[in-house]
């Protein structure tokens, strides 16, 4: 059984990942996850301020912040990704979300639009918990590219590094799909429960979209394909998924 940890005063539990983000979150009994998408990306600092405001208006503590989806101008170098994460994690620490500095409870995706990218990293969406007696289960699975987390270097462990041939993309997709399934299993989840699936790549997925995604039942709720790249150079394919029943879009 995969370990999960209850986030203090958060209303959710998380699957430990790396210091930058957890592998996924699920609402505890008596709570539900809700998602807010910004109509346009909001720069990181302003986004954190807006999230804090929304949580306050909802009567929820900062510790209810459970997951986020980021947009960045272009894929980072490995060192650049480390620097970005230091800034991002700084706010989570200031909010009291990382009482154990080695465990980050907040799930995350961070991808880079090919078309009209933002000028700086910012928030596309976020999810938080609300009190909801009797609510159905809800979870958010963090984004994953085609390389395992926590190995020190994505390049050294990426599936078919530098290869974007149809066969390589199929292998990358199979690995990422398997990782989504592994993470969902931590919360007793599977594709039949998912309410939304997102895929991020600038490469052709049609050779396997039916054989790999279709056979898993992903199209039951539809697939959102973003023409985006993963956040680190040399990664080519990323996915995330969720089971969230209440979502809204706001203008900032």
Query: Residue 10 and residue 31: Cα distance in Å, rounded?
Result: 9
Q: How far is CA 164 from the centre of its chain?
A: 23
pLDDT value at position 104?
95
CA distances, 228 to each of 200, 211, 223, 239, 246 (Å):
5, 22, 14, 11, 25
pLDDT value at position 97?
94
Residues 215, 237, 185: CA angle, nearest 5 degrees:
55
pLDDT value at position 129?
98
Query: Residue 63 and residue 52: Cα distance in Å, rounded?
Result: 10
Instruction: Residue 24: name the closest of 132, 247, 184, 174 by CA.
Output: 184
Work out the percent of the chain whose per-residue pLDDT is above 70: 99
pLDDT value at position 99?
76
pLDDT value at position 155?
84
Q: Encode burial over 180-205: b for 16+ CB neighbours within 10 A, e otherwise.
A: beebbebbebebebbbbbbbbbbeeb
Q: Please, is 222 exposed, middle or buried when counting C-beta atoms within 10 Å of its C-beta (0-12, 13-18, 19+)?
A: exposed
Instruction: Residue 71: name the closest of 143, 127, 121 by CA.
Output: 121
- The 10s digit of each residue's pLDDT in 167-200 is 999 999 999 999 999 999 999 999 999 999 999 9
φ, ψ at 226 (rounded to 5°): -95, 130
Q: What is the separation, in whole angstroms, between the first and last Cα of the chain?
A: 41
Model pTM?
A: 0.97
The low-confidence residues of the chain, meaning pLDDT below 70, are 101
């Amino acid at each position: 059984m995969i370990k999960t940890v209850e986030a203090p005063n958060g209303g959710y539990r998380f699957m430990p990942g790396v210091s930058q983000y957890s592998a996924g979150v699920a609402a505890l009994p008596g709570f539900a996850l809700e998602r807010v998408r910004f109509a346009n990306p909001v720069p990181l600092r302003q986004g954190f301020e807006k999230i804090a405001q929304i949580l306050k208006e909802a009567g929820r503590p900062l510790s209810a912040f459970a997951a986020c989806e980021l947009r960045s101008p272009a894929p980072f170098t490995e060192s650049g990704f480390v620097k970005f994460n230091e800034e991002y994690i700084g706010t989570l620490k200031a909010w009291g979300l990382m009482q154990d500095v080695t465990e980050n409870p907040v799930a995350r995706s961070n991808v880079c639009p090919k078309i009209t990218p933002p000028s700086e990293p910012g928030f596309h969406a976020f999810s938080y918990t609300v009190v909801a007696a009797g609510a159905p289960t809800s979870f958010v699975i963090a984004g994953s590219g085609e390389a395992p987390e926590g190995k020190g270097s994505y390049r050294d462990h990426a599936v078919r590094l530098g290869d974007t041939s149809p066969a390589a993309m199929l292998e990358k997709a199979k690995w990422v799909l398997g990782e989504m399934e592994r993470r969902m299993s931590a919360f007793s989840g599977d594709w039949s429960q998912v309410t939304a699936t997102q895929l991020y790549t600038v490469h052709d997925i049609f050779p396997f979209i039916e054989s790999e995604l279709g056979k898993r039942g992903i199209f039951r709720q539809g697939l959102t394909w973003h023409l985006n790249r993963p956040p680190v150079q040399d990664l080519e394919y990323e996915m995330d998924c969720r089971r969230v029943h209440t979502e809204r879009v706001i203008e900032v």
